[in-house]
Chains A and B, each alone.
Chain A
């Protein structure tokens, strides 16, 4: 052995570390929280792979129960981590590759997980939503546990995405999230499900290629993949085209996942055709978590890069506003329930982007609150849509006119959800809408109010039509895309309703209760060292606070009293009203090549603004 050239085991300075690496690096794991840090990701991975190995012999009910238990355990673990993280960040370097082990200053070799309170709270929320969705999906899938395996892998990916502190690791979890999403969207194997899944896959795959290119460019310039290290290098280097390009590409990928105009068109296709429990996860968490990651990256890596911050603070605000308006208008003009809810998700994502783009702790706290509130309500609404699809074999509000009067508890849930979306002054979402836009520019406030009202009124209109039989003449929604659809119909109504009611009940938590925690959490997220001072009590403008719900109810009442267009004048007015909606429907054509062209245009817009 000593004859082997180059392998000098005794003389290299590393031999000092060799023994220590096994004994001494035990010291890098000091607290229980640190040791538990990767468990919320390992647990679903372990359960999923074990389920796969025994899938042939295991009854589906057992895997259902295992899935729910795993999701609940993840929620409890992440909640514990969030509490522990308030006393100081929980950090673990995987493989024992701490920064010291590289023996070079400023070079970090390993991957780390970092649980700050906000990320751990979002991860806990992910676990909770998965538990609710799996409860709702009890009895939905009879394919030998494969559905549960895909859901568990999806859960692991999202938790990993929230907790990671390494850029390429984030990309890996982003990919796993996407692949699980693609497979789950195509699961029903209907024509539209497959085509929707195809569009979803192509657009998101292109997004992930852009993200990988961005990561490569950033590595080329900074030589590292760790958030903290990269932040230091970006702060130290000056204005740089490579860093700007890297950020543009990564932002384009995250904005694609978060369905921001003009990257948004895949979402209405995918969420409308995915199985309802999966749509709950998509609209409830997956899309908002992408925005959370965007905010985290901007705050921790690019906070001192002038060009990037200018891009974020200007263009992203306008993109968010445009998304809110487009989503709201399109939601108002839909008749297929899940497509309506998908567009309303797009609208609310635009509002959330406005909060993220402000890059301030108060706005970030508002954004996280909005993430929770909107996700819970949207999840509940998708569950109602799932109830209708399975018990009434249709998802179209005009076809379902008066057909669900005996399912009135679901109607009550849908009406409550619509009111909450439209700005009812109770619960998490309302408090979040008040705090999400610190700049309070009149145009942006008007856009937020309008889009909130449009989405809430659309849901109320659909609820009234389906459950109560109250309806005016159909408006622009009469020409919206739709099809006959159904889901497995032997699931108990009370079980599905219970999951829905659970989500709505949590959505009613007063926002002020969570706000103290969140304002502390976002200060930590943005690495701002501030003493434990309670946040200044922001007095929301009373007019702006109650305007959305008033407008919602107004639009809803208007839709109830709409008459059929019989006179020539009213016909002309009706056609004039339809025109913008027709134009928007034409743009959202369903052809994936169109979507790709719009995506490139969006990337060009990002490049243009940052180059300016």
Chain B
């Protein structure tokens, strides 16, 4: 079907959908109305019952922690899928030769770049770990901290160059981080079950509010998610980097005429 016909179908659909959207928009509660009962109850209860000050993290890792377990598995699944699709028949490789695009100059790395990247990578990693650990106290949490820690790997590559970076960052280690972190999260959910409580019930002492250790099991879950997300992003970075290297052989991965 050519584009004009497709657009005609789309416009036909819009003729019905636009008045419907208008009607629904008028029927929705007005923007800026007070928080629903569910949210208001969480805001009122969670600080006293779980000693945390970040309500969003409390919802994410305690009240609706099972959702977060599913979401973490989804990230693991997507990264595993991306890795297996990028590796294909190339397999796990450590190609040292960079892919070359004709006509594009390759500038050597300056000392300033190396120094700044080393400092920045360390600070970023620390910041990511700080963000993940303090998720129950200030805005942040496992996902955010893990993403920041993952990006420190990128800075490391910029500073070190591919060969030395690849020697430091190996995919089995990242697999252990990713799988291990998710496994610890699943374990944190399962251990209360084995003790006779409900799944993911907060069985550890709750700690003190506004402190590093507050929220009991939430700290464990936060840290596990942070580790796993850092591993996931690192793995994605590694596989996409491998794509920029020149192929070992000219053969096209996979079959078909």
Contacts and interface: CB of A to CB of B under 8 A. Distances in A.
Interface of A: 1, 4, 6-9, 12, 14-15, 17-18, 21-22, 25-26, 28-29, 35, 38-39, 42, 45-46, 48-57, 92-97, 102-104, 106-111, 143-144, 146-147, 149-150, 153, 156-157, 160, 168-169, 172-173, 175-176, 179-180, 182-184, 186-191, 217, 219-221, 223-225, 240-242, 245, 483-486, 586-587, 589, 591, 593-594, 597-598, 600-601, 603-605, 607-608, 611
Contacts of A176: 70, 73-74, 77
A53 B171 CA distance: 11
Contact of A1 (B47, B69, B203, B208): B208
Nearest to A243: B27
Given A604-B17, A607-B20, A611-B23, 16 more contacts: A1-B208, A8-B48, A26-B196, A42-B193, A49-B186, A53-B183, A54-B179, A92-B198, A173-B70, A183-B84, A184-B81, A241-B23, A242-B28, A597-B10, A604-B16, A605-B16
A17, A56, A190: which has the most chain B beta carbons within 10 Å?
Answer: A56
Contacts of B81: 150, 179-180, 182-184, 186
A48 B81 CA distance: 13
B161 interface: no
Contacts of B243: none
A106 B40 CA distance: 13
A-B pairs with lowest CB-CB distance, top 5: A183-B81, A52-B179, A53-B179, A604-B16, A600-B13
Contacts of B84: 143, 146-147, 150, 183, 187
A94, A173, A182: which has the most chain B beta carbons within 10 Å?
Answer: A94
Contact of A169 (B70, B80, B92, B179): B70
Contacts of A182: 81
B175 A53 contact: yes
Contact of B17 (A9, A143, A600): A600
Given A46-B186, A176-B74, A176-B77, A597 B65 contact: no
A486 B203 CA distance: 53
B3 to A, nearest CB: 8
5 contacts: A42-B190, A111-B67, A175-B70, A586-B1, A607-B16
A97 B65 CA distance: 11
B200 interface: yes
B74 A175 contact: yes
B196 A35 contact: yes
B74 A179 contact: yes
Interface of B: 1, 3, 6-7, 9-10, 12-17, 20, 23-24, 26-29, 36-38, 41-42, 45, 47-49, 51, 62-67, 69-71, 73-74, 76-78, 80-85, 87-89, 92, 171-172, 175-176, 178-180, 182-183, 186-187, 189-190, 193, 196-203, 208-210, 253-257
Contact of B201 (A6, A25, A219, A589): A25
Nearest to A23: B197
Contacts of B175: 52-53, 55-56
A600 B9 contact: yes
Contacts of A183: 77-78, 80-82, 84-85
A219 B36 contact: yes
Contacts of A95: 62-63, 65-66, 198-202
A94 B66 contact: yes
A15 B171 CA distance: 48
A608 B17 CA distance: 8
Contact of B45 (A102, A223, A601): A102
Nearest to B182: A49
A611 B65 contact: no
A362 to B, nearest CB: 34
B255 A42 contact: no
B42 A109 contact: yes
Contacts of A48: 73, 76
Nearest to B171: A56
B77 A242 contact: no
A18 B196 CA distance: 18
A242 B22 CA distance: 11
Nearest to B178: A52
Contact of B257 (A39, A143, A484): A484
A189 B186 contact: no
Contacts of B9: 597-598, 600-601
Contacts of A53: 175-176, 178-180, 183
A9 B13 contact: no
Contacts of A169: 64, 66-67, 70
Contact of A110 (B63, B70, B257): B63
Contacts of A143: 84, 87
A38 B70 contact: no
Contacts of B88: 189
A220 B39 CA distance: 11
B11 to A, nearest CB: 10
Nearest to B59: A109
A21 B202 CA distance: 9
Contacts of A245: 20, 24
Contacts of B92: 144
Given A17-B49, A169-B66, A183-B85, A600 B10 contact: yes
A455 B77 CA distance: 35
B80 to A, nearest CB: 6
A162 to B, nearest CB: 14
Given A29-B196, A96-B198, A597-B13, A18 B85 contact: no
A79 to B, nearest CB: 20
Nearest to B39: A223
A52 B176 CA distance: 7
A189 B70 contact: no
Contacts of A12: 48
A241 B21 CA distance: 10
A243 to B, nearest CB: 9
Given A109-B42, A183-B85, A593 B6 contact: yes
B1, B47, B64: which has the most chain A beta carbons within 10 Å?
Answer: B64
A564 B74 CA distance: 53
B222 to A, nearest CB: 15
A144 B91 CA distance: 10
Given A26-B196, A29-B198, A143-B87, A14 B49 contact: yes
Contact of A7 (B41, B77, B209): B209
A168 B23 contact: no
A42 B186 contact: yes
Given A180-B77, A183-B85, A109 B178 contact: no
B197 A29 contact: yes
A38 B63 contact: no
Contacts of B210: 4, 7
A337 to B, nearest CB: 17
